[in-house]
Structure 1
Amino acid sequence: MSELLYGRHAVLECLRANRRRIFRLWVESKQPETAPKEGPLAQIVAEAERLKIPVRLISGGLFDRLRSERVNAQGVALEVGEYPYVEVEDCLRAAKAANEPPLLLILDHLQDPQNLGTLIRTAEAVRVHGVIIPERRAARITPAVSNASAGAVEHLAVAQVVNINRVIEELKKRNVWVVGLDSDPSTPPLAQARLDGALAVVVGNEGEGLSRLTREKCDFLVRLPMWGRVESLNAAVAGSIVLYAARQARAGSSS
Protein backbone atom coordinates (compact mmCIF):
# COMPACT_ATOMS: atom_id res chain seq x y z
CA MET A 1 0.00 0.00 0.00
CA SER A 2 1.27 3.47 -0.87
CA GLU A 3 0.54 6.97 0.41
CA LEU A 4 1.27 10.48 -0.75
CA LEU A 5 3.64 12.71 1.18
CA TYR A 6 3.35 16.43 0.48
CA GLY A 7 5.14 19.63 1.41
CA ARG A 8 8.71 20.51 0.52
CA HIS A 9 10.30 19.73 3.88
CA ALA A 10 8.52 16.40 4.32
CA VAL A 11 9.34 15.26 0.79
CA LEU A 12 12.98 16.34 0.91
CA GLU A 13 13.64 14.71 4.29
CA CYS A 14 11.97 11.49 3.17
CA LEU A 15 14.31 11.38 0.18
CA ARG A 16 17.33 12.17 2.36
CA ALA A 17 16.43 9.53 4.93
CA ASN A 18 15.65 6.95 2.24
CA ARG A 19 13.99 4.63 4.77
CA ARG A 20 10.74 4.05 2.92
CA ARG A 21 10.05 2.44 -0.40
CA ILE A 22 9.77 5.38 -2.81
CA PHE A 23 7.79 5.03 -6.05
CA ARG A 24 7.77 8.41 -7.79
CA LEU A 25 8.03 12.15 -7.32
CA TRP A 26 5.41 14.56 -8.62
CA VAL A 27 6.38 18.18 -9.23
CA GLU A 28 4.00 20.93 -10.33
CA SER A 29 5.37 22.84 -13.30
CA LYS A 30 3.75 25.35 -15.64
CA GLN A 31 5.97 23.91 -18.37
CA PRO A 32 5.68 20.11 -17.96
CA GLU A 33 8.81 19.46 -20.01
CA THR A 34 11.00 21.73 -17.90
CA ALA A 35 12.25 20.78 -14.43
CA PRO A 36 12.88 23.52 -11.84
CA LYS A 37 16.43 24.88 -12.18
CA GLU A 38 16.81 26.54 -8.79
CA GLY A 39 15.25 26.80 -5.35
CA PRO A 40 13.78 24.12 -3.06
CA LEU A 41 12.00 22.21 -5.85
CA ALA A 42 15.22 21.92 -7.84
CA GLN A 43 16.92 20.52 -4.73
CA ILE A 44 14.15 17.95 -4.32
CA VAL A 45 14.35 16.91 -7.97
CA ALA A 46 18.13 16.54 -7.73
CA GLU A 47 17.80 14.33 -4.64
CA ALA A 48 15.20 12.15 -6.39
CA GLU A 49 17.39 11.79 -9.45
CA ARG A 50 20.35 10.83 -7.25
CA LEU A 51 18.21 8.00 -5.86
CA LYS A 52 17.00 7.13 -9.38
CA ILE A 53 13.39 7.89 -8.43
CA PRO A 54 11.08 8.62 -11.41
CA VAL A 55 10.16 12.32 -11.59
CA ARG A 56 6.84 13.41 -13.12
CA LEU A 57 6.39 17.07 -14.06
CA ILE A 58 2.72 18.01 -14.32
CA SER A 59 0.47 21.04 -14.42
CA GLY A 60 -2.71 20.84 -12.31
CA GLY A 61 -4.17 17.33 -12.07
CA LEU A 62 -2.96 15.79 -8.82
CA PHE A 63 -2.17 19.21 -7.36
CA ASP A 64 -5.60 20.58 -8.23
CA ARG A 65 -7.09 17.64 -6.33
CA LEU A 66 -4.87 18.30 -3.32
CA ARG A 67 -5.86 21.96 -3.33
CA SER A 68 -9.52 20.94 -3.43
CA GLU A 69 -8.84 18.92 -0.28
CA ARG A 70 -7.25 22.02 1.31
CA VAL A 71 -3.82 20.45 1.31
CA ASN A 72 -0.90 22.84 0.79
CA ALA A 73 1.42 20.59 -1.17
CA GLN A 74 3.81 23.44 -2.08
CA GLY A 75 4.05 22.05 -5.60
CA VAL A 76 5.49 18.67 -4.71
CA ALA A 77 4.26 15.21 -3.71
CA LEU A 78 6.02 11.90 -3.19
CA GLU A 79 4.40 8.48 -3.57
CA VAL A 80 5.87 6.24 -0.89
CA GLY A 81 5.29 3.04 1.04
CA GLU A 82 3.94 3.02 4.59
CA TYR A 83 5.95 4.48 7.44
CA PRO A 84 8.61 2.04 8.74
CA TYR A 85 7.81 1.58 12.43
CA VAL A 86 10.47 -0.03 14.61
CA GLU A 87 10.53 -2.08 17.81
CA VAL A 88 11.18 -0.54 21.23
CA GLU A 89 14.38 -2.58 21.34
CA ASP A 90 15.60 -0.69 18.25
CA CYS A 91 15.24 2.60 20.15
CA LEU A 92 17.35 1.25 23.01
CA ARG A 93 19.95 -0.02 20.56
CA ALA A 94 20.13 3.47 19.02
CA ALA A 95 20.97 4.90 22.45
CA LYS A 96 23.67 2.28 22.97
CA ALA A 97 25.14 2.98 19.53
CA ALA A 98 25.31 6.69 20.43
CA ASN A 99 27.00 5.77 23.73
CA GLU A 100 24.27 7.63 25.63
CA PRO A 101 21.72 6.70 28.28
CA PRO A 102 18.33 6.27 26.56
CA LEU A 103 16.18 9.35 26.04
CA LEU A 104 12.70 8.29 24.91
CA LEU A 105 9.35 9.98 24.34
CA ILE A 106 6.15 8.08 25.17
CA LEU A 107 2.80 9.47 24.04
CA ASP A 108 -0.26 8.45 26.06
CA HIS A 109 -2.96 8.49 23.37
CA LEU A 110 -2.13 11.84 21.81
CA GLN A 111 -4.73 12.31 19.09
CA ASP A 112 -4.02 15.50 17.15
CA PRO A 113 -1.70 15.02 14.12
CA GLN A 114 -0.36 18.57 14.47
CA ASN A 115 0.61 17.97 18.11
CA LEU A 116 2.21 14.65 17.19
CA GLY A 117 4.17 16.25 14.38
CA THR A 118 5.34 19.12 16.59
CA LEU A 119 6.53 16.79 19.34
CA ILE A 120 8.32 14.56 16.84
CA ARG A 121 10.07 17.58 15.35
CA THR A 122 11.31 18.55 18.82
CA ALA A 123 12.26 14.94 19.61
CA GLU A 124 14.45 14.74 16.51
CA ALA A 125 15.99 18.14 17.27
CA VAL A 126 17.10 17.09 20.76
CA ARG A 127 18.27 13.65 19.58
CA VAL A 128 15.66 11.51 21.26
CA HIS A 129 16.48 7.85 20.58
CA GLY A 130 12.89 6.82 19.94
CA VAL A 131 9.21 7.72 20.21
CA ILE A 132 6.65 5.20 21.47
CA ILE A 133 2.97 5.49 20.55
CA PRO A 134 -0.01 3.16 21.09
CA GLU A 135 -1.59 1.31 18.18
CA ARG A 136 -5.17 2.23 19.10
CA ARG A 137 -7.01 5.43 20.01
CA ALA A 138 -4.08 7.62 19.05
CA ALA A 139 -2.67 9.51 16.10
CA ARG A 140 -0.34 7.46 13.92
CA ILE A 141 2.34 8.52 11.46
CA THR A 142 0.45 9.87 8.44
CA PRO A 143 1.42 12.28 5.65
CA ALA A 144 -0.15 15.07 7.74
CA VAL A 145 2.13 14.18 10.67
CA SER A 146 5.20 14.03 8.43
CA ASN A 147 4.32 17.46 7.08
CA ALA A 148 3.67 18.87 10.57
CA SER A 149 7.07 17.56 11.70
CA ALA A 150 8.76 19.26 8.72
CA GLY A 151 9.96 15.80 7.69
CA ALA A 152 11.70 15.11 11.02
CA VAL A 153 9.74 11.88 11.49
CA GLU A 154 11.47 10.42 8.44
CA HIS A 155 14.73 10.37 10.42
CA LEU A 156 13.29 9.28 13.77
CA ALA A 157 12.65 5.83 15.21
CA VAL A 158 8.96 5.43 16.13
CA ALA A 159 7.63 2.27 17.79
CA GLN A 160 3.92 1.49 17.70
CA VAL A 161 2.95 -0.78 20.60
CA VAL A 162 -0.15 -2.57 21.86
CA ASN A 163 0.14 -1.43 25.48
CA ILE A 164 2.31 1.50 26.57
CA ASN A 165 1.94 0.60 30.26
CA ARG A 166 3.61 -2.76 29.67
CA VAL A 167 6.38 -0.96 27.82
CA ILE A 168 6.81 1.40 30.77
CA GLU A 169 7.15 -1.59 33.11
CA GLU A 170 9.81 -3.14 30.87
CA LEU A 171 11.73 0.12 30.62
CA LYS A 172 11.75 0.49 34.41
CA LYS A 173 13.20 -3.03 34.73
CA ARG A 174 16.02 -1.84 32.47
CA ASN A 175 16.78 1.12 34.73
CA VAL A 176 15.06 3.74 32.59
CA TRP A 177 13.34 6.33 34.78
CA VAL A 178 9.86 7.30 33.60
CA VAL A 179 8.68 10.88 34.12
CA GLY A 180 5.10 11.95 33.41
CA LEU A 181 4.03 15.48 32.54
CA ASP A 182 1.19 16.55 34.85
CA SER A 183 -0.69 19.78 35.55
CA ASP A 184 -1.89 19.14 39.11
CA PRO A 185 -0.82 22.04 41.39
CA SER A 186 0.52 19.56 43.94
CA THR A 187 2.97 18.05 41.42
CA PRO A 188 6.60 19.20 41.88
CA PRO A 189 7.78 21.75 39.30
CA LEU A 190 10.10 20.77 36.48
CA ALA A 191 13.04 22.67 38.00
CA GLN A 192 13.15 20.24 40.94
CA ALA A 193 13.42 17.10 38.80
CA ARG A 194 16.56 15.17 37.91
CA LEU A 195 16.52 14.47 34.20
CA ASP A 196 20.14 13.59 33.49
CA GLY A 197 20.01 9.79 33.37
CA ALA A 198 18.25 7.14 31.31
CA LEU A 199 14.81 8.69 30.87
CA ALA A 200 11.44 8.25 29.20
CA VAL A 201 9.22 11.35 29.07
CA VAL A 202 5.49 10.62 29.00
CA VAL A 203 3.07 13.19 27.51
CA GLY A 204 -0.65 12.62 27.92
CA ASN A 205 -3.76 13.13 25.85
CA GLU A 206 -4.65 16.71 24.84
CA GLY A 207 -7.86 16.82 26.83
CA GLU A 208 -7.42 14.47 29.78
CA GLY A 209 -3.66 14.36 30.23
CA LEU A 210 -2.14 11.13 31.52
CA SER A 211 -4.46 8.18 32.03
CA ARG A 212 -4.79 7.01 35.63
CA LEU A 213 -2.82 3.79 35.17
CA THR A 214 -0.03 5.47 33.22
CA ARG A 215 0.27 8.17 35.87
CA GLU A 216 0.59 5.50 38.57
CA LYS A 217 3.30 3.66 36.65
CA CYS A 218 5.50 6.74 36.24
CA ASP A 219 8.46 6.95 38.63
CA PHE A 220 7.73 10.62 39.19
CA LEU A 221 5.69 13.48 37.78
CA VAL A 222 6.60 17.05 36.88
CA ARG A 223 4.56 20.13 36.05
CA LEU A 224 5.34 23.36 34.27
CA PRO A 225 4.57 26.33 36.52
CA MET A 226 2.16 28.86 34.99
CA TRP A 227 2.66 32.54 35.85
CA GLY A 228 0.05 33.95 33.49
CA ARG A 229 -3.71 33.65 33.42
CA VAL A 230 -4.00 30.50 31.32
CA GLU A 231 -4.06 27.24 33.27
CA SER A 232 -1.89 25.07 31.04
CA LEU A 233 0.13 24.81 27.85
CA ASN A 234 -0.65 22.87 24.70
CA ALA A 235 0.52 19.24 25.05
CA ALA A 236 3.06 19.58 22.27
CA VAL A 237 4.54 22.79 23.69
CA ALA A 238 4.72 21.41 27.22
CA GLY A 239 6.28 18.15 26.06
CA SER A 240 8.84 20.04 23.97
CA ILE A 241 9.94 22.08 27.00
CA VAL A 242 10.53 18.92 29.05
CA LEU A 243 12.48 17.27 26.22
CA TYR A 244 14.80 20.26 25.94
CA ALA A 245 15.27 20.29 29.71
CA ALA A 246 16.16 16.58 29.64
CA ARG A 247 18.70 17.03 26.86
CA GLN A 248 20.36 19.99 28.56
CA ALA A 249 20.39 18.22 31.94
CA ARG A 250 22.32 15.26 30.60
CA ALA A 251 24.91 16.98 28.45
CA GLY A 252 24.87 20.72 29.19
CA SER A 253 23.41 23.51 27.09
CA SER A 254 26.28 23.32 24.60
CA SER A 255 25.42 19.78 23.40
Structure 2
Amino acid sequence: MAGNSQRRGATRRAGSKKGATVGTGGHGRKALEGKGPTPKAEERSYHKAYKAKQRAEKEAAKAPAPRGKAAPRHRTSGSDELAIGRNSVLEALRMRIPATALFVFNRIDADDRVTEIVSLAVEQGIEVREVPKSVLDTLAGGSPHQGVALEVPPYVYADPRDLLEAPSPVRIMVLDHIQDPRNLGAILRSAGAFGASGVVIPERRAAGVTVAAWKVSAGAAARVPVARATNIARTLEDYKKAGVFAIGLDAGGEVDLHQSNLLDGPLAIVIGSEGEGLSRLVSETCDQIVSIPITATTESLNASVAASIALYEASRHVS
Protein backbone atom coordinates (compact mmCIF):
# COMPACT_ATOMS: atom_id res chain seq x y z
CA MET A 1 0.00 0.00 0.00
CA ALA A 2 2.80 2.32 0.89
CA GLY A 3 4.38 1.77 -2.50
CA ASN A 4 1.12 2.58 -4.26
CA SER A 5 0.73 5.72 -2.15
CA GLN A 6 4.18 6.87 -3.01
CA ARG A 7 3.52 6.28 -6.69
CA ARG A 8 0.24 8.23 -6.54
CA GLY A 9 2.00 11.13 -4.79
CA ALA A 10 4.68 11.14 -7.40
CA THR A 11 2.03 11.14 -10.07
CA ARG A 12 0.25 14.09 -8.43
CA ARG A 13 3.49 16.01 -8.09
CA ALA A 14 4.39 15.37 -11.72
CA GLY A 15 0.92 16.45 -12.86
CA SER A 16 1.18 19.58 -10.74
CA LYS A 17 4.51 20.48 -12.33
CA LYS A 18 3.15 19.87 -15.80
CA GLY A 19 0.17 22.11 -15.14
CA ALA A 20 2.49 25.04 -14.25
CA THR A 21 4.24 24.96 -17.60
CA VAL A 22 1.23 24.60 -19.94
CA GLY A 23 0.12 28.24 -19.61
CA THR A 24 1.54 31.44 -18.02
CA GLY A 25 -1.67 33.36 -17.61
CA GLY A 26 -0.42 36.01 -20.10
CA HIS A 27 2.68 36.87 -18.12
CA GLY A 28 5.01 36.06 -21.06
CA ARG A 29 2.99 37.85 -23.74
CA LYS A 30 5.21 40.98 -23.90
CA ALA A 31 8.24 38.87 -24.63
CA LEU A 32 6.58 37.72 -27.83
CA GLU A 33 5.80 41.26 -29.12
CA GLY A 34 7.96 42.88 -31.83
CA LYS A 35 10.28 45.82 -31.02
CA GLY A 36 9.54 47.86 -34.15
CA PRO A 37 11.76 48.57 -37.20
CA THR A 38 15.53 48.51 -36.83
CA PRO A 39 16.89 52.08 -36.28
CA LYS A 40 18.98 53.61 -39.04
CA ALA A 41 22.73 53.26 -38.69
CA GLU A 42 23.17 56.99 -38.07
CA GLU A 43 20.65 56.80 -35.23
CA ARG A 44 22.49 54.08 -33.31
CA SER A 45 25.00 55.66 -30.92
CA TYR A 46 27.40 52.72 -31.11
CA HIS A 47 27.54 52.70 -34.92
CA LYS A 48 30.33 54.46 -36.85
CA ALA A 49 27.72 56.17 -39.08
CA TYR A 50 26.28 57.88 -36.00
CA LYS A 51 29.71 59.15 -34.95
CA ALA A 52 30.46 60.38 -38.48
CA LYS A 53 27.19 62.32 -38.53
CA GLN A 54 28.00 63.93 -35.18
CA ARG A 55 31.42 65.04 -36.43
CA ALA A 56 29.93 66.49 -39.61
CA GLU A 57 27.34 68.46 -37.64
CA LYS A 58 30.04 69.89 -35.39
CA GLU A 59 32.11 70.95 -38.40
CA ALA A 60 29.07 72.54 -40.04
CA ALA A 61 28.31 74.45 -36.84
CA LYS A 62 31.79 76.00 -36.94
CA ALA A 63 31.43 77.08 -40.57
CA PRO A 64 29.68 80.32 -41.68
CA ALA A 65 25.92 80.12 -42.02
CA PRO A 66 24.76 78.57 -45.31
CA ARG A 67 23.37 80.75 -48.04
CA GLY A 68 19.60 81.01 -47.78
CA LYS A 69 17.86 79.27 -50.66
CA ALA A 70 15.02 81.77 -50.53
CA ALA A 71 17.30 84.72 -51.38
CA PRO A 72 17.11 85.77 -55.05
CA ARG A 73 20.17 85.38 -57.27
CA HIS A 74 20.30 89.15 -57.78
CA ARG A 75 20.12 89.97 -54.09
CA THR A 76 21.68 93.24 -52.96
CA SER A 77 21.50 92.53 -49.23
CA GLY A 78 24.48 92.57 -46.88
CA SER A 79 24.95 88.80 -46.86
CA ASP A 80 28.24 87.32 -48.03
CA GLU A 81 28.58 85.80 -51.47
CA LEU A 82 30.12 82.50 -52.54
CA ALA A 83 32.01 81.61 -55.68
CA ILE A 84 31.82 77.83 -56.08
CA GLY A 85 33.46 75.47 -58.53
CA ARG A 86 37.11 75.35 -59.58
CA ASN A 87 36.81 77.59 -62.65
CA SER A 88 34.72 80.25 -60.91
CA VAL A 89 36.95 80.37 -57.83
CA LEU A 90 40.11 80.51 -59.93
CA GLU A 91 38.75 83.36 -62.09
CA ALA A 92 37.70 85.30 -59.00
CA LEU A 93 41.15 84.97 -57.46
CA ARG A 94 42.89 85.90 -60.71
CA MET A 95 40.75 89.06 -60.82
CA ARG A 96 41.75 89.70 -57.20
CA ILE A 97 38.15 89.95 -56.06
CA PRO A 98 38.23 90.73 -52.31
CA ALA A 99 37.65 87.52 -50.37
CA THR A 100 37.60 86.51 -46.72
CA ALA A 101 38.05 82.73 -46.83
CA LEU A 102 38.73 79.83 -49.17
CA PHE A 103 37.12 76.49 -48.29
CA VAL A 104 38.84 73.40 -49.68
CA PHE A 105 37.74 69.77 -49.33
CA ASN A 106 40.25 68.13 -46.99
CA ARG A 107 40.56 65.07 -49.26
CA ILE A 108 40.49 66.85 -52.60
CA ASP A 109 42.34 65.39 -55.59
CA ALA A 110 44.43 68.42 -56.44
CA ASP A 111 44.91 69.32 -60.09
CA ASP A 112 46.60 72.36 -61.64
CA ARG A 113 43.56 74.54 -60.94
CA VAL A 114 43.38 73.60 -57.27
CA THR A 115 47.12 74.18 -56.87
CA GLU A 116 46.81 77.66 -58.40
CA ILE A 117 43.70 78.43 -56.33
CA VAL A 118 45.45 77.68 -53.05
CA SER A 119 48.61 79.47 -54.17
CA LEU A 120 46.72 82.66 -55.14
CA ALA A 121 44.71 82.61 -51.91
CA VAL A 122 47.88 82.37 -49.80
CA GLU A 123 49.54 85.08 -51.89
CA GLN A 124 46.56 87.42 -51.36
CA GLY A 125 46.41 86.75 -47.62
CA ILE A 126 43.09 84.89 -47.77
CA GLU A 127 42.41 82.36 -45.02
CA VAL A 128 42.43 78.78 -46.35
CA ARG A 129 40.22 76.29 -44.47
CA GLU A 130 40.34 72.55 -45.08
CA VAL A 131 36.86 71.18 -44.38
CA PRO A 132 34.93 67.93 -44.88
CA LYS A 133 32.65 67.55 -47.88
CA SER A 134 29.56 67.96 -45.70
CA VAL A 135 30.56 71.54 -44.87
CA LEU A 136 31.03 72.44 -48.55
CA ASP A 137 27.70 70.80 -49.38
CA THR A 138 26.02 72.98 -46.77
CA LEU A 139 27.74 76.17 -47.91
CA ALA A 140 26.93 75.53 -51.57
CA GLY A 141 23.28 74.75 -50.82
CA GLY A 142 23.30 71.66 -53.02
CA SER A 143 25.09 73.23 -56.01
CA PRO A 144 28.13 71.39 -57.41
CA HIS A 145 31.23 72.88 -55.79
CA GLN A 146 34.04 70.55 -57.01
CA GLY A 147 35.67 70.75 -53.61
CA VAL A 148 36.25 74.52 -53.42
CA ALA A 149 34.29 77.62 -52.39
CA LEU A 150 35.41 81.23 -52.03
CA GLU A 151 33.66 83.52 -49.56
CA VAL A 152 33.41 87.15 -50.64
CA PRO A 153 32.40 89.93 -48.24
CA PRO A 154 29.43 92.19 -49.02
CA TYR A 155 30.12 95.06 -51.39
CA VAL A 156 30.22 98.52 -49.80
CA TYR A 157 27.83 100.76 -51.74
CA ALA A 158 28.13 104.53 -52.06
CA ASP A 159 25.39 107.10 -51.57
CA PRO A 160 23.94 108.48 -54.85
CA ARG A 161 24.89 112.01 -53.77
CA ASP A 162 28.53 110.97 -53.52
CA LEU A 163 28.70 110.57 -57.29
CA LEU A 164 28.04 114.30 -57.76
CA GLU A 165 31.36 115.02 -56.07
CA ALA A 166 33.36 113.15 -58.71
CA PRO A 167 35.92 115.12 -60.76
CA SER A 168 34.44 116.92 -63.78
CA PRO A 169 32.82 115.96 -66.04
CA VAL A 170 30.05 114.22 -64.12
CA ARG A 171 28.88 111.16 -66.07
CA ILE A 172 26.55 108.95 -64.03
CA MET A 173 25.03 105.69 -65.28
CA VAL A 174 21.58 105.10 -63.75
CA LEU A 175 20.22 101.56 -64.14
CA ASP A 176 16.45 101.16 -63.95
CA HIS A 177 16.18 97.59 -62.56
CA ILE A 178 18.81 95.72 -64.55
CA GLN A 179 18.30 92.09 -63.50
CA ASP A 180 21.33 90.24 -64.86
CA PRO A 181 24.53 90.68 -62.80
CA ARG A 182 26.53 90.02 -65.97
CA ASN A 183 24.95 93.06 -67.59
CA LEU A 184 25.81 95.08 -64.50
CA GLY A 185 29.39 93.84 -64.69
CA ALA A 186 29.64 94.74 -68.38
CA ILE A 187 28.27 98.24 -67.70
CA LEU A 188 30.81 98.68 -64.90
CA ARG A 189 33.56 97.69 -67.30
CA SER A 190 32.41 100.28 -69.85
CA ALA A 191 32.02 102.87 -67.10
CA GLY A 192 35.63 102.30 -66.12
CA ALA A 193 36.81 102.43 -69.74
CA PHE A 194 35.07 105.70 -70.58
CA GLY A 195 35.61 107.58 -67.32
CA ALA A 196 32.11 107.49 -65.80
CA SER A 197 31.70 108.99 -62.33
CA GLY A 198 29.78 105.96 -61.07
CA VAL A 199 26.74 103.76 -61.41
CA VAL A 200 23.41 103.94 -59.57
CA ILE A 201 21.23 100.86 -59.03
CA PRO A 202 17.95 100.37 -57.12
CA GLU A 203 17.98 98.76 -53.69
CA ARG A 204 15.36 96.19 -54.71
CA ARG A 205 14.53 94.01 -57.71
CA ALA A 206 17.87 94.60 -59.37
CA ALA A 207 21.26 92.98 -59.79
CA GLY A 208 23.81 93.91 -57.16
CA VAL A 209 27.59 93.78 -57.12
CA THR A 210 27.94 90.04 -56.65
CA VAL A 211 30.69 87.62 -57.62
CA ALA A 212 29.21 87.31 -61.13
CA ALA A 213 29.24 91.09 -61.63
CA TRP A 214 32.79 91.32 -60.28
CA LYS A 215 34.06 88.77 -62.77
CA VAL A 216 32.45 90.36 -65.84
CA SER A 217 33.60 93.84 -64.82
CA ALA A 218 37.23 92.68 -65.25
CA GLY A 219 38.27 94.56 -62.13
CA ALA A 220 36.34 97.76 -62.88
CA ALA A 221 34.09 97.09 -59.87
CA ALA A 222 37.09 97.94 -57.69
CA ARG A 223 37.51 101.35 -59.38
CA VAL A 224 34.01 102.53 -60.31
CA PRO A 225 31.77 103.40 -57.33
CA VAL A 226 28.30 101.87 -57.28
CA ALA A 227 25.53 103.60 -55.33
CA ARG A 228 22.15 102.21 -54.31
CA ALA A 229 19.02 104.33 -54.45
CA THR A 230 15.75 103.75 -52.63
CA ASN A 231 13.85 105.38 -55.49
CA ILE A 232 15.39 105.90 -58.94
CA ALA A 233 12.94 108.61 -60.03
CA ARG A 234 13.55 110.61 -56.85
CA THR A 235 17.31 110.25 -57.28
CA LEU A 236 17.02 111.61 -60.82
CA GLU A 237 15.06 114.58 -59.49
CA ASP A 238 17.87 115.27 -57.02
CA TYR A 239 20.45 115.05 -59.79
CA LYS A 240 18.46 117.44 -61.96
CA LYS A 241 18.27 119.96 -59.12
CA ALA A 242 22.06 119.73 -58.92
CA GLY A 243 22.36 120.69 -62.60
CA VAL A 244 22.63 117.22 -64.14
CA PHE A 245 20.87 116.61 -67.45
CA ALA A 246 19.08 113.22 -67.47
CA ILE A 247 18.63 111.30 -70.71
CA GLY A 248 16.88 107.95 -70.98
CA LEU A 249 17.74 105.41 -73.66
CA ASP A 250 14.77 103.92 -75.47
CA ALA A 251 14.28 102.53 -78.96
CA GLY A 252 11.24 104.79 -79.36
CA GLY A 253 13.07 108.02 -78.50
CA GLU A 254 12.41 110.93 -80.84
CA VAL A 255 15.90 112.38 -80.54
CA ASP A 256 19.12 110.84 -81.86
CA LEU A 257 21.78 110.13 -79.24
CA HIS A 258 24.46 111.59 -81.54
CA GLN A 259 23.13 115.13 -81.15
CA SER A 260 26.06 116.78 -79.41
CA ASN A 261 24.01 119.34 -77.48
CA LEU A 262 22.48 116.55 -75.36
CA LEU A 263 25.82 115.25 -74.14
CA ASP A 264 27.48 118.47 -72.98
CA GLY A 265 27.80 119.24 -69.29
CA PRO A 266 26.93 117.06 -66.28
CA LEU A 267 25.00 114.04 -67.50
CA ALA A 268 22.98 111.10 -66.17
CA ILE A 269 22.41 108.28 -68.66
CA VAL A 270 19.47 106.07 -67.73
CA ILE A 271 19.29 102.46 -68.95
CA GLY A 272 16.07 100.43 -68.65
CA SER A 273 15.70 96.80 -67.64
CA GLU A 274 16.41 93.97 -70.08
CA GLY A 275 12.80 93.04 -70.73
CA GLU A 276 10.65 96.10 -70.05
CA GLY A 277 12.99 98.99 -70.69
CA LEU A 278 12.43 102.24 -68.81
CA SER A 279 9.62 102.28 -66.29
CA ARG A 280 6.91 104.90 -66.86
CA LEU A 281 7.79 107.09 -63.88
CA VAL A 282 11.52 107.05 -64.61
CA SER A 283 10.87 107.80 -68.27
CA GLU A 284 8.70 110.80 -67.33
CA THR A 285 11.40 112.07 -64.96
CA CYS A 286 14.12 112.12 -67.63
CA ASP A 287 14.78 115.44 -69.40
CA GLN A 288 14.95 113.71 -72.76
CA ILE A 289 14.35 110.23 -74.17
CA VAL A 290 16.87 109.39 -76.86
CA SER A 291 17.48 106.45 -79.16
CA ILE A 292 20.51 104.83 -80.75
CA PRO A 293 20.11 104.53 -84.54
CA ILE A 294 20.22 100.87 -85.60
CA THR A 295 19.29 98.98 -88.77
CA ALA A 296 15.70 97.91 -89.22
CA THR A 297 16.67 94.25 -89.10
CA THR A 298 17.85 94.58 -85.48
CA GLU A 299 15.02 94.74 -82.98
CA SER A 300 16.94 96.17 -80.03
CA LEU A 301 20.33 96.31 -78.32
CA ASN A 302 21.38 94.55 -75.16
CA ALA A 303 21.26 96.87 -72.14
CA SER A 304 25.02 96.71 -71.55
CA VAL A 305 25.76 97.32 -75.25
CA ALA A 306 23.47 100.35 -75.31
CA ALA A 307 25.16 101.67 -72.18
CA SER A 308 28.60 101.25 -73.76
CA ILE A 309 27.59 103.17 -76.88
CA ALA A 310 26.08 105.99 -74.82
CA LEU A 311 29.17 106.24 -72.61
CA TYR A 312 31.43 106.32 -75.65
CA GLU A 313 29.41 109.11 -77.25
CA ALA A 314 29.38 111.06 -73.98
CA SER A 315 33.17 110.71 -73.67
CA ARG A 316 33.56 112.32 -77.11
CA HIS A 317 31.63 115.42 -76.03
CA VAL A 318 33.43 116.31 -72.85
CA SER A 319 33.40 120.09 -72.54
TM band (smaller chain): 0.7 to 0.9
Return the structure number with greater relative CO, CA threshold 8 A, min gap 6. Answer: 1
| Mapped pair 1:230 → 2:307 | no
| Mapped pair 1:82 → 2:146 | no
CA contact (8 A) 1:124 1:155 kept: yes
The aligned length equals 232
Question: Residue 114 of structure 1 aligns to a residue in which SS?
Answer: helix
Counterparts in 2 of 1:1-255, with a 5 A limit? 1-5=79-83, 7=88, 8-15=90-97, 22-25=99-102, 30-31=109-110, 36=115, 41=116, 45-46=119-120, 48-49=121-122, 51-55=124-128, 62=136, 69=143, 77-93=149-165, 95-96=166-167, 100-184=168-252, 187-193=254-260, 194-250=262-318
Of stretches 162-171 and 107-116 in structure 1, the one that deviates more from structure 2 is: 107-116
User: Cα–Cα, structure 1 residues 56 and 235, in superposed 2: closer, same or farther, change >3 Å?
Assistant: same
Aligned partners of 2:270, 2:193: CA distance in 1, in Å? 17
Share of identical aligned residues, percent?
A: 41
Aligned partners of 1:79, 1:217: CA distance in 2, in Å? 39
Q: Shift of the alpha carbon at 1:235?
A: 1.4
Scaled by the length of structure 1, what TM-score is found? 0.75
Aligned partners of 1:188, 1:31: CA distance in 2, in Å? 58
Question: Residue 316 of structure 2 aligns to a residue in which SS?
Answer: helix
Runs of 5+ in structure 1 lacking a partner?
A: none
Aligned partners of 2:304, 2:249: CA distance in 1, in Å? 11
Runs of 5+ in structure 2 lacking a partner?
A: 1-78
Question: Residue 191 of structure 1 aligns to a residue in which SS?
Answer: coil
1:210 counterpart letter in structure 2:
L
Of stretches 138-147 and 1-10 in structure 1, the one that deviates more from structure 2 is: 1-10
CA contact (8 A) 1:10 1:150 kept: no
User: Cα–Cα, structure 1 residues 9 and 126, in superposed 2: closer, same or farther, change >3 Å?
Assistant: farther
What do you get for the CA RMSD once the two structures are aligned? 3.4
Question: Residue 213 of structure 2 aligns to a residue in which SS?
Answer: helix
Aligned partners of 1:152, 1:139: CA distance in 2, in Å? 16
Higher Rg of the two aligned structures? 2
Aligned partners of 1:45, 1:247: CA distance in 2, in Å? 40
Aligned partners of 1:190, 1:117: CA distance in 2, in Å? 23
Of stretches 214-223 and 52-61 in structure 1, the one that deviates more from structure 2 is: 52-61
Scaled by the length of structure 2, what TM-score is found? 0.62
Question: Residue 100 of structure 2 aligns to a residue in which SS?
Answer: strand
CA contact (8 A) 2:152 2:211 kept: no
Show CA shifts across 1:13-49 (max 9, x none): 444xx5xxx42235798548x984xxxx47x845x54
2:284 counterpart letter in structure 1:
E
Aligned partners of 2:211, 2:286: CA distance in 1, in Å? 31
Q: Shift of the alpha carbon at 1:5?
A: 3.6
